Amino acid sequence: MSTLVIEGGHRLEGRVAVEGNKNAALPLLAACLLTGEECVLTNVPRIGDVDVMARLLADLGASVEGIGTPTLTIRAAEIRTHEADRTLVGRLRGSVLLLAPLLARTGRARLAPPGGDFPARRSISTHLEALEAMGARLSEGRDHVLEAPDGLRPASMYLYEASVTGTETALLAAAAVPGTTEIRHAATEPHVVELCTFLARMGAEIIGAGSSTIRVTGAARLRGARHELGGDYIEAGSWAVVAAITGGEVAIDGARPEDIEVVAAVLQRMGIECGMVERSFVVKPSKPRAVRRIATGLWPSFPSDLVSLVTVLATQAEGRTLVHDWMYELRLFALEQMSGMGADLFLADAHRIIVNGPTRLRGGRTLDSRDLRSGMSLIAAGLAADGETRVAPLETVERGYSQLVDRLRSLGAKVTKVLD
């Protein structure tokens, strides 16, 4: 394990490029199991979560070349086992996306409880209900054990929750089943659309990608495909907020304008001068101001993955801001640590936090990066604080941010990675 040591008080300046969308990479990797032919993914983010998913595919019997690089070549000519490695599954919530491909290829799937951030509070019931609607049988027990000895069948289903990964599970299953499946109350995020694009290249017919109703006509035999991942708008938004918190000027390359605008809308309301300049999203030095309320929501509303970072920005804004993440519990709890840095925070409940600003943040503390997004937020707080701040374990944040230390340094941050 390692610790990031931060010398705060330095403005970030320069240019940074985002890699492919983390939340698209995991379902695309799972989709590669649906065919025995070769699939090639490019602009893959070089992050911990992708490495774990690639290792899971290899353990199941797939050939995976290029782990740790932006190009992955996968060929799953044979699935060796229907049971995913328990240790790896325990490190990655996205491992739940393996259920549908395993059922489609082997008729069986066994998955230990997936890990990742807040595993005890994040249900996979939507995934299981979608698979059961398509004919899978679920066995009782702590592990998720499903069987479809006669194969999956097309279905018409309504998802009780517009879950992103739940929608992706339904899409993965439907693509491998001859006939038409209709998915209503589907998630509409860009990474769901990206999965639809890839599955269509593999031979499925998909109508309604990006809408709440998706119709999938699957194929008995899917083919290999090649796909370049789109830029990660969550990563781009993270760099934008970090720039704003430090009063810096940063140009961010790689994010699509239609994706990053959901972040830009909130930053601009907070008085941050930002926007697309040619093909880059540029943040300029600004004086942040509070807004009455910032609330997360389903796409295209403000994403929950950035709520922790924007809360840190609110500590540097003039006035009072209520931040409301109605989608997930616990995401804001880690930010209570900032009270010891001088932040004026009141955690109203598991979903709401009230921030008064601006406050001058003080270093001199070691902060616990309890989950991926709050970990990046605490790094942002350390960058804005006076003195030295330590954030650990750094590996939690590196699950979702490639070459984090090097890129922070390239923007002028004074940071050091220390092995514990």
- Tell me if 169 sits within 8 A of 130, measured CB to CB: yes
Biggest CA pair distance of the chain = 63
Catalytic residue (one of 51, 59, 85, 117)? 117
Phi, psi for residue 195 in degrees, rounded to 5: -65, -40
The predicted pLDDT at position 120 comes to 41
11: its two tokens:
């403005």
Same domain, 224 and 237: no
Give me the number of domains the chain comprises: 2
Catalytic status, residue 325: no
Do 285 and 175 lie in one domain? The reply is no
pLDDT at 119: 43
Half-sphere exposure of 271 (CA within 13 A, CB side): 16
Q: Does residue 106 sit in the same domain as residue 223?
A: yes
CB–CB of 321/337 below 8 Å? Answer: no
In the chain, the N- to C-terminal Cα span, in Å, equals: 6
Which one of 190, 211, 228 terminates a domain?
228
Last residue of a domain, one of 193, 228, 263: 228
Torsion angle in degrees (nearest 10) through CA of 407, 408, 412, 415: -130
- Three-state secondary structure call for residue 345: strand
SS3 content of the chain, % helix, strand, coil (to 5): 35, 25, 35
Do residues 337 and 203 both lie within one domain? no
Whether 159 and 34 map to the same domain: the answer is yes
Burial of 412 (0-12, 13-18, 19+ CB in 10 A): middle
Closest CA to 293 of 362, 352, 365: 352
Crossing angle (nearest 10°) for helices 164-175 and 125-133 = 20
85 and 8 in a single domain? The answer is no
CB contact at 8 A, 99 and 146: yes
Residue with the two structure tokens 């774990």: 52
Task: Strands of 87-142 (E only): list them.
Answer: 108-111, 137-139
∠ CA 361-367-370, rounded to 5°: 130
The residue among 188, 206, 228 that closes a domain is 228
Q: 84 and 7, same structural domain?
A: no
Q: Based on the fold, state whether residues 258 and 373 are members of the same structural domain.
A: yes
pLDDT at position 34: 98
CATH no. for residue 86? 3.65.10.10
Does 216 share its domain with 332? no
Q: Is 149 exposed, middle or buried (0-12, 13-18, 19+ CB in 10 A)?
A: exposed
Q: Profile the chain (420 residues) by mean pLDDT over runs of 10 residues.
A: 96 97 97 98 97 98 97 97 96 96 97 70 85 95 92 97 96 98 98 98 98 97 98 97 97 97 97 96 97 94 95 97 86 90 94 96 94 95 97 96 97 96
- Shared domain for 9 and 30, answered yes or no, is no
Same-domain status, 200 and 238:
no
Residue 275: domain span: 2-18+231-419
Q: Are residues 53 and 86 in the same domain?
A: yes
